[in-house]
Structure 1
Amino acid sequence: MLRTRSLFSSCLTDSLPRQRRLFNTLRPRQPRIRSVAITATVLATVLATGIAIHTALRPRVLLEEFSGYPTVTKTGSDQELISYDEVQKHKTKDDCWVIIDGTVYDVTEFLAQHPGGEGIILANAGKDATKIFKPLHPPDALDMLEEHQRLGPVDPLSMPEVVEEITDEDRRIEEARKRLPPVDAMLLLQDFEDWGAKVLSGTAWAYYRSAADSEHTFNENSNSYERYWLRPRILRKVGSGDTKTSFLGIDTESPFFISPAAMAKLGHPLGEVNITRAAGRLGLVQAISANASCGLDEMMEERLPGQPVIYQIYLNKNRQASEALLKKVEKLKPAAVMFTVDVPWQSKRTLDARAKHVVAPVVEDTEPQLKPSKSPLGVSEAIGGYQDPNLSWDDIPFIRKHISVPIIVKGVQTVEDVDLCVKAGVEGVLLSNHGGRSCDYAAAPIDILYEIRCLRPDIFDKIDVLVDGGIRTGADVVKALALGAKAVGIGRPILYANGTHGQEGVERACQILQEEINNTMRNAGATKISEIVPEMCGPAGPWVGQNRPPYVPNP
């Protein structure tokens, strides 16, 4: 089966990933409107506004009257329309135009500033880049361009026809969506992951699930929790209680927050907005990714009154860009900022790299000095090229200069660096190895937490310690809390849930975790978070000899 459409009109149907079109496949399809004529008034309106005419509405007889298209067409309002033929002439590093949502942009000067590097833009130079642009960028991403770089609307009648085949992936997703259980049937966080593998696009799954190199750290993050077991206390009244707590002075209904995971639009067209809404409804804290596919203002506007959020920051190679962002964030007053330091250098994220051709094909050698890329960009590399690899401890005062809210350093991976964070005066640390996506064979965060508990328990009185990575059950959360964490972060499961069921999925995933935390803590003898103490958790096996935790008194 083939679908024929105008490439320009793809901004109406393909501006988000294919899963958007397949997300509601069970809904009755609306019949396409077909017309054999178009009035002069409608045509004039279209030309004046640059609105695309869908293929089904384009009158064949009208198209046949034109033997060619001028470089520039003037409408009744003197607005110039740029022909697609003209756009195609500008596809080199020194002269680069792209079409996004029907507007032609000259991005030549912007190539060196693009956060994802110039390669992905040059791969789409002289073309309509709407389809690849929309899922990876927030709505305000184009605001950074100067007015002279906005050349004007493309002539919709000059856009070429393309024939797109319904792919095997389209069919796979559509069939999987038909079998997808209702959200209430999801009983474990693992259920969302299992179904996410079936219903997400290959690009989305590869980005969400990917980890560094051979993925030893990724696997160890989850497996490490099996090394720590609970020691429940009995005959304690557990008929009432709750999971409310706080960290860095931020109140929350449950001792976990939504980690700053990026690119939620790859899984659902509403992206991170779903996550913001779900967190607000459940009284949870969302850490907003610096690489979110929704705009910061967009997410902030979706908050309920008083809803706290944490904003993640990566420092830009261009410190002026970081300074401008920090000033904007300061005006929005999040509850805290999360300075991410666990990706000092971009690793190969294997699954994402294998799917990279979907995101950015090999760049053509449009100029002799521009060598073709031997390793085209995956999503992670496409969005992270702006990050500064030359971070230092001096960057904490730089952030503090522009921010008045608490600072959390995300990505601390040794006891020694936790101590240095204390000395640097930050309010919180997040033990994290970036979900196993950075340094393969980095230690599991829960192991670092255990080392702090055993070797430097005084640190817990000086700074709020958070932890993420590999947490998949409420029991995992309770273990981390017992060892000293103030709260834990949940990342991938939220992305999977958003991809399978949207906002309802995110809410259900959080409810599952909250239910399991409540059940586990009560069965361990605690009715509130403050009653979850170190003596309740330690290494698996008998607590005798060297296996007995040093913080547990002798019986």
Structure 2
Amino acid sequence: MSVSLNETLISAETVKQHASRESCWIIVHGKVYDVTNFLDEHPGGSKIILKYAGRDATEAYEPIHPPDAITTNLPTSKHLGAIDPATIVAVVKEVSEEEKRRQALLATRPPLDEIVNLHDFEAVARVVLPEKAWAYYSSASDDEITIRENRLAFQRVWFRPRVLRNVAHVDWSTTILGQKSSLPVYISATALGKLGHPDGELNLTRAAGKHGVIQMIATLASCSFDEIIDAGVPGQPFFVQLYVNRDREITKRYVQHAEKRGVKGLFITVDAPQLGRREKDMRLKLIGDTSGAKVQEGQKDVPKDQGVARAISAFIDPSLCWDDIPWFRSITKMPIILKGISTAEDALLAYESGVQGIVLSNHGGRQLDTARSALEILVEVTEALKKRGTTRPFDVFVDGGVRRASDVLKALALGAKAVGVGRAFLYAFCAYGQPGVEKAIQIFRDELEMNMRLLGVRTLSELRPEMVDARALNVHTGAVPEDNLFRTTYQPLALAKFRDSRL
């Protein structure tokens, strides 16, 4: 903890005296804040703040908030000063049995050299992650049909490989929005990385910089935007994902700051006017927060069954619409990509609006359940854009369910410029940190080399729609060999449980 020479020092005893709804102070990263007036504005409700009233909230704050979240959202008049180090009583925190078990599992996880595919990372992460973190990362909306469809769609597309082509040398490098990439894959935005690893999204940044892959920075990353940018190597390209804030001035500052820091693309999420019901996350929140502080008794609060996602997303503006696109074009020169397009009709509207591209996405199955996969949407979007005719660059990306290089090549053959991968990289660093992300990148390289040779293409530009048979893509029932790796890692939904195990 660093303390400025001119900074007011506040004793721990003084902070303890402000532990009520009427006067609520907390400590975060060695600084004292008066959050009394912010209690009812906190997206996760006042209950979680009051639980730490009058004491250090850093441990609970850090995994769910970027380091600068409190300083950005709280008026400077409520920044009271630094905690006086001399008044802090050292507390030896007892390690819970759950954490001891988790550490033992981490110590006995498979060596990284035994990881041979991206499904392996998910299997390890499921075992070693804290229960709430796994519930948040793995959850999808309602009956979780779409998250399964995202994966299964790739199995309904079949290759039509060409032979007797000189494939001694194959090249899978490309450019994405004008930026060089060693893979036709970018790291898609996923939130709250520190729930799964102390370094959070910095694992992605360091691995991406080392291996020439582009990272998309999430609005809801656990690490701050500048912390992520500063961790990159010189010249490392980044994209940024944006949830649009109800306060457009906050959005404008964020976008323009990103552009000033050299970000190369703005991906505006357009499929989340309200978050989907993610029941795994909701159920863990309900079970885990039954005991609160004394000051919480009798208070009204955000329903406790809404989960982590609800706690971090209340700022998102549900009024975002097509009429706002000209405003975004007026505040930045970055290429603008609309993330979350699900139909050919909206793809054409996006082109007419003047943006530079779209991501066909259903938010990893976390929004509208039974929405179609991005791969299925891609076929109709490609046909619609071809029929309309385009006179300027307009890139189409897809994400959701990608676990193999063969998935990537199918998407590119059907017209995608590149593919976003989120959960697979997330699970890689949750299980193994930065080396896990580097191994995941290497797995993509190895699989791309093999699949391109077997498909008969030397460069990505040689991929053609006729190299795949997508006729069964929109048939949602059929005799397709089961994907046993995915089935093994997928955790089915569960019903409500009785508290008493005897019942």
SS at match of 2:27: strand
Aligned position for 1:498: 429
SS at match of 2:358: strand
Deviation at 1:534, TM superposition (A): 0.4
Q: 1:172 to 1:86 in 2, by over 3 A?
A: closer
Q: Does 1:400 align with 2:324?
A: no
Deviation at 1:380, TM superposition (A): 1.5
Q: Does 1:95 align with 2:19?
A: no
Letter in 1 for 2:440: A
Aligned position for 1:120: 48
Deviations 1:177-225 (A, max 9, x none): 1221222221100000000011111122111111112111111110111
Q: 1:267 to 1:416 in 2, by over 3 A?
A: same
Deviations 1:339-392 (A, max 9, x none): 011111122212211222587667679589941444345222222111111111
- Structure 1 residues 385-424: aligned runs within 5 Å: 385-424=314-353
- Mapped to 1, the partners of 2:7 and 2:420 lie a distance apart of 54
Deviations 1:444-471 (A, max 9, x none): 1111012224454346855200000001
Q: Does 1:193 align with 2:122?
A: yes
Cα pair 2:170 2:452 within 8 Å, conserved:
no
- Mapped to 1, the partners of 2:292 and 2:340 lie a distance apart of 33
Q: 2:58 aligns with which of 124, 130, 139?
A: 130
RMSD, matched Cα = 2.8
Deviation at 1:171, TM superposition (A): 2.9
RCO (CA 8 Å, sep 6+): is it higher in 1 or 2?
2
Q: 1:321 aligns with which of 250, 271, 277?
A: 250
Deviation at 1:397, TM superposition (A): 1.5
- Mapped to 2, the partners of 1:292 and 1:311 lie a distance apart of 11
- Mapped to 1, the partners of 2:15 and 2:419 lie a distance apart of 53
Q: 1:219 aligns with which of 148, 156, 162?
A: 148
- Mapped to 1, the partners of 2:83 and 2:90 lie a distance apart of 15
- Mapped to 1, the partners of 2:357 and 2:291 lie a distance apart of 42
SS at match of 1:109: helix
Cα pair 1:218 1:435 within 8 Å, conserved:
yes
Q: Does 1:489 align with 2:424?
A: no
Q: 1:405 to 1:135 in 2, by over 3 A?
A: same
Aligned position for 1:434: 363
- Mapped to 2, the partners of 1:527 and 1:359 lie a distance apart of 53
When normalised by structure 2's length, the TM-score is 0.86
Letter in 1 for 2:441: C
Structure 2 unaligned residues grouped into runs of 5+: 479-503
Deviation at 1:109, TM superposition (A): 3.4
Letter in 2 for 1:105: Y
Deviation at 1:501, TM superposition (A): 1.1
When normalised by structure 1's length, the TM-score is 0.79
Deviation at 1:260, TM superposition (A): 0.7
- Mapped to 1, the partners of 2:336 and 2:364 lie a distance apart of 20
SS at match of 2:222: coil
- Mapped to 2, the partners of 1:433 and 1:207 lie a distance apart of 17
Deviations 1:444-501 (A, max 9, x none): 1111012224454346855200000001101111100000000000000111111111
- Mapped to 2, the partners of 1:420 and 1:248 lie a distance apart of 20
Deviations 1:380-425 (A, max 9, x none): 2222111111111122122112110100100001111001000001
Q: Does 1:517 align with 2:448?
A: yes
Letter in 2 for 1:202: E
SS at match of 1:110: helix
SS at match of 1:355: helix
Q: 2:266 aligns with which of 310, 326, 337?
A: 337
Deviation at 1:273, TM superposition (A): 1.2
Deviations 1:488-539 (A, max 9, x none): 0000011111111111100111111122122112211111000011001123
- Structure 1 residues 1-400: aligned runs within 5 Å: 80-84=9-13, 86-92=15-21, 94-111=22-39, 114-144=42-72, 145-154=74-83, 165-356=94-285, 370-400=299-329
Cα pair 2:239 2:266 within 8 Å, conserved:
yes
Q: 1:541 to 1:324 in 2, by over 3 A?
A: closer
Cα pair 1:365 1:372 within 8 Å, conserved:
no
Q: Does 1:474 align with 2:405?
A: yes
SS at match of 1:105: strand
SS at match of 2:62: helix
**Structure with bigger gyration radius:** 1
Cα pair 1:359 1:378 within 8 Å, conserved:
no
